[in-house]
Amino acid sequence: MVQIEYTKKPSGPTLRAAIRKALAAGETWLQLTWGENQITIERTARGLTGQGWIGRHGGHDLAAALAAAERNRRLATLDYPEHELAAIRSALAATRCAA
């Protein structure tokens, strides 16, 4: 459990860096606070979840962005079993065709 309190309004990159650092250290729950505003990020069996807001930055959005970045990193390094890679590739192809 990590709690980080900011005295000045943190930027998006500052929040993402703090979350990445805590997750890399093996933390499963963290709370970022600025005044009365807070964001809570938790790593669950389903992945990253987030709630709360600091300025324009929502916990859900930050968790989703970091989870997507982690998936992209794993995909780029092929750090998946082959059956998962096939499912991911087909889902990506379907997403690209829909857009």
- pLDDT per residue as tens digits for the range 44-58: 888 899 999 999 999
List CB contacts of 75: < 8 A, sequence separation 6 or more: 85, 88
Q: Is 2 helix (H, G, I), strand (E, B) or coil?
A: strand
The per-residue pLDDT for range 12-63, each reduced to its tens digit, is 999 999 999 999 999 999 999 999 999 999 998 888 999 999 999 999 999 9
pTM score, whole prediction: 0.73
CB atoms within 10 A of CB 50: 23
The band of 76, judged by pLDDT with boundaries at 50, 70 and 90, is confident
The predicted pLDDT at position 98 comes to 56
H/E element holding 37? strand 37-44
